[in-house]
Amino acid sequence: MPYVARNVACREQKLKTSNFTDTLGHVLSTEPTTTAHVPLPDGSSTPVQIWASENKDATFVMMWPGFGMGGYYYRPIAAALNNAGYHVAIGELRGQGQSSAKASRKNQWGYHDLASVDFPLQIAAAKTALGLAQDHPMRFLSHSMGGQISCLFAARPEAEKYNLQAIFGVGAGSPWRPTFSPKMGKRLGLGAVLLGGIGGHVMGFWPGKVLGKDLVGYGRQSGTHMREWRLFHKHNSLEDLSKQDINYVEAMKNVSIPITFTRCPDDEDCPRASMEALASFVPAAQVTFEEIPEELGHNRWARQPEATLELFLRQMS
């Protein structure tokens, strides 16, 4: 399936812990300083969790979840980044986590909507809540599909407006089938049939539960988004995104900021070739590939953040 969350987001109520202990025994609170509730054009609301640094001039790190993941899951690494001196905020992907958006035949969104509407609105809300200027220096820490959308956003004029200086992707790559092992390729293919084929083309949206069961573990999803993901999976293509106002593929060729692609060594959902396939869209970027030196799969690095934080600080300093 596309960057398997394995029902992690469905159990996020269990993850609302108030603190976590790092490897040195330090107890850090994971409670945000504040939460901004951002209205979206479809009438839904998206919460943005925000941690303020004591240093007003600190760099701002905006975090973006992976597919099927809620923002609460990333609280430990957000708190760790904040403890390291950054302003931090966690956004949501529409229809996931605590977002109130509900996909239907009439209520649709795709990659372009997320990059051009959701990302800018959430960034603006976070910077306003922190009392920062719109051009205050900003970096992304983006997981999985959040990294895909981050590359699209980096090609937009809003990236310059909000002063996006770098992207640090974790488990972020293309879902292009040839970049995966035969086993994972089959799982991705099944996801493409269910989510993109049946959900995107036949039903108009993926309902989440079928006969009372969530067969793939991602909840309800927009048909437009799943159709586009299916094309991405089959052809490594982001051409002709629904309602696009720029040619993203051409615009991404001009992205020149530093982009670090990282993964854990046991992350079957994002092999090195998958990262390279996504990196091929940004040939002018200052691209670096790194491995997080711990076997934390596709998701657990966000709950056990020390190794990822160390790599982030080394790459983003």
pLDDT digit string, tens, across residues 58-95: 999 999 999 999 999 999 999 999 999 999 999 999 99
Residue 204: per-residue pLDDT: 83
Section 223-229 average pLDDT: 94
Residue 278: per-residue pLDDT: 98
Residue 42: per-residue pLDDT: 92
Residue 210: per-residue pLDDT: 72
Residue 111: per-residue pLDDT: 98
Distances from the Cα of 34 to the Cαs of 37, 200, 222, in angstroms?
10, 36, 29
pLDDT band at 231 (very low <50, low <70, confident <90, very high): very high
Section 186-200 average pLDDT: 82
Q: Are the beta carbons of 25 and 40 closer than 8 angstroms?
A: no
pLDDT digit string, tens, across residues 152-183: 999 999 999 999 999 999 999 999 999 999 99
Domain regions of the chain by residue span:
9-175+245-316
Structure tokens at 244: 């696009």
Q: Tell me 59's DSSP state.
A: P
Alpha-carbon gap, residue 169 to 312, rounded angstroms: 10
Residue 7: per-residue pLDDT: 35
Task: State the average pLDDT for the chain.
Answer: 90
Per the model's pLDDT, the better-predicted residue between 274 and 217 turns out to be 274
Place of tokens 């491995």: 291
Alpha-carbon gap, residue 105 to 102, rounded angstroms: 10
Burial readout 188-198 (b: 16 or more C-beta within 10 A, e: otherwise): bbebbebbbbb
Segment (H or E) for 140: strand 138-143
- In sign, the C-alpha dihedral spanning 95, 266, 301, 155 is negative
Amino acid at 153: F
**pLDDT over threshold 80, residue 15:** no
Alpha-carbon gap, residue 131 to 139, rounded angstroms: 17
Structure tokens at 255: 């992205």
Count of beta carbons in the 10 Å neighbourhood of residue 167: 28
Beta-strand pair 138-143/60-64: parallel
Residue 217: per-residue pLDDT: 66
Question: Is residue 221 classed as helix, strand or coil in its secondary structure?
Answer: strand
Q: What angle do CA 263, 269, 275 make, to 5 degrees?
A: 50
Residue 271: per-residue pLDDT: 97
Alpha-carbon gap, residue 105 to 111, rounded angstroms: 17
Q: What angle do CA 135, 284, 78 make, to 5 degrees?
A: 45
Residue 19: per-residue pLDDT: 63
- Radius of gyration (C-alpha) of the chain in whole angstroms: 18
Section 138-157 average pLDDT: 98
Alpha-carbon gap, residue 235 to 214, rounded angstroms: 27
Count of beta carbons in the 10 Å neighbourhood of residue 55: 10
pLDDT band at 187 (very low <50, low <70, confident <90, very high): confident
Residue 205: per-residue pLDDT: 82
Give the homologous superfamily in CATH for domain 9-175+245-316: Alpha/Beta hydrolase fold, catalytic domain (3.40.50.1820)
Segment (H or E) for 47: strand 45-51
**pLDDT over threshold 70, residue 108:** yes
